[in-house]
Amino acid sequence: MATRSQGLRMVPGGGWEESRWPGLVLPGLCNLHSHAFQVLLTGRTQERGGGPGGAPDSFWTWRERMYALASSLGPDELEKVGAWLYARMLAHGFTHVVEFHYLHQGGAEMGAALLRAAKRVGMGITLLPVLYLHAGPGEELAPRQAPFALPGGVEGYLRVYEELASLVEPEADQVLGFAPHSLRAVAPEELEEALRALLPNKPPIHIHIAEQRREVEEIQAAYGAPPVRWLLENAPVDSSWCLVHATHLGAGERKDLAGSGATLGLCPSTEADLGDGVFPLPEFLEEGGSFGIGTDGQVGLCPAQELRLLEFEQRLRLEERNVLAGNRAPRTHVGRFLLEEALGGGRRAAGLGPPASERGSSDFILLDSGHPLLEGAGPDQVLDAWIFHLGAELVREVWKGDKCLVQEGRHALQEDLDREIREVLRP
């Protein structure tokens, strides 16, 4: 068993080995879907308001709050927000973030601000500048969506992409990828043009898809197929792709998505907050699919919380316990299975390749296996306790390379970062 005087390190693929660190050592996780600026909505969208004509609150009414926030931020503010947010993610155990960046304000400055923010706090980042050209199939962008636009269509987008490519620092664990926002926001010919230009660079490619039933209906009406089916039949979807949410899809789409090699990007806290629905994850895994986790709108920042909710929503859906315990391998601990799946899917989606070998991994989380409630617990039980019970309370240290960035749950720069984000929020 792991104690304060005896450390154990997780070996990907199964087992534990002795470690010099006093606690349980886990690889750092990748947050595969983030919109950094949306953390400023914290506590500001939970009062009941309703939509037009007395319709209930929904994803579509929430968007109006998000649009208002987006128009109020510039590069300086976004850099402060990003640094604060990424430091908090690190404190919870994420060591790399995939930033689905569509708050362009007309150029590359906002993306550059996020790269600086990540480097400042030691967070690895895959920056995904977003191609966002339409409000819906055949619809012009609305004025409130102006912060997401880049002038010049696909050609203008590619100019900004090249500018950001010149700013990415691989030695700082930075990667550049491509994100068509959604099939609502990018027309088929525009997607084809962008892919033709960017595929030779082999970037990671992410897209929002099938998050809401209304979206599915709109794409079905415009293109003659639901969004996941259309994408699989009209784009070169493979292991370099990440389909984010994909909540509402048929059994045939789900099976073909699993067979494509693409990673499914799930963001349980945000999907619950927005009322998106629940993805049929056990069935997808049985069909050979893979997934990773993200924080999306920053409703939660803790990987343990996201993995916990991923399992709990399936328990509620199926009225069973310990659902995601490994349908493809004889694993019995749900926590171990969830963590390993999220590690592999997250790294692949971030364009980082397969997880590093355990001994060669330089990014890691140190859990406090000496917590009083864990007296006598084995390492898999400590891991389960982190995910299903204690969460961030167990995170003692987070290391990136040879630097300890987080001690006792707090980033080394947290005091300065707290002051800066207060300045952004102050009226």
CA 51, CA 46: separation in Å to the nearest integer? 14
Neighbours of 401 (CB within 10 A): 12
Does 411 participate in catalysis according to the annotation?
no
Closest CA to 309 of 293, 296, 298, 297: 293
CA 120, CA 114: separation in Å to the nearest integer? 10
Q: Of 273, 296, 363, 380, which is the active-site residue?
A: 296
CA 35, CA 358: separation in Å to the nearest integer? 30
CB < 8 Å & 24+ apart, contacts of 273-276: 273/297, 273/299, 274/58, 274/59, 274/62, 274/211, 275/57, 275/58, 275/59, 276/59, 276/211, 276/212, 276/245, 276/247
Render the burial of 273-310: b for 16+ CB within 10 Å, e for the rest.
bbebbebbbbebbeeebbbbbbbbbbbbbbbbbbbbbb
Is there a contact between 130 and 100 (Cβ–Cβ < 8 Å)?
yes
Between β-strands 363-367 and 395-400, what pairing exists: parallel, antiparallel or unpaired? antiparallel
Is there a contact between 360 and 27 (Cβ–Cβ < 8 Å)?
no
Q: Of 101, 245, 333, 371, which is the active-site residue?
A: 245
Paired residues of 128 in beta bridges:
100
Closest CA to 129 of 181, 179, 83: 179
User: Token pair for residue 292?
Assistant: 């990773």
User: Token pair for residue 70?
Assistant: 């987006």
CA 52, CA 56: separation in Å to the nearest integer? 9
- Cα separation of the two ends of the chain: 52
User: Token pair for residue 98?
Assistant: 């995939």
Does 248 participate in catalysis according to the annotation?
no
CA 365, CA 24: separation in Å to the nearest integer? 8
CA 130, CA 208: separation in Å to the nearest integer? 11
**Unique residue bearing structure tokens 């012009």:** 140
CA 259, CA 256: separation in Å to the nearest integer? 5
**Which residues are catalytically annotated?**
245, 296
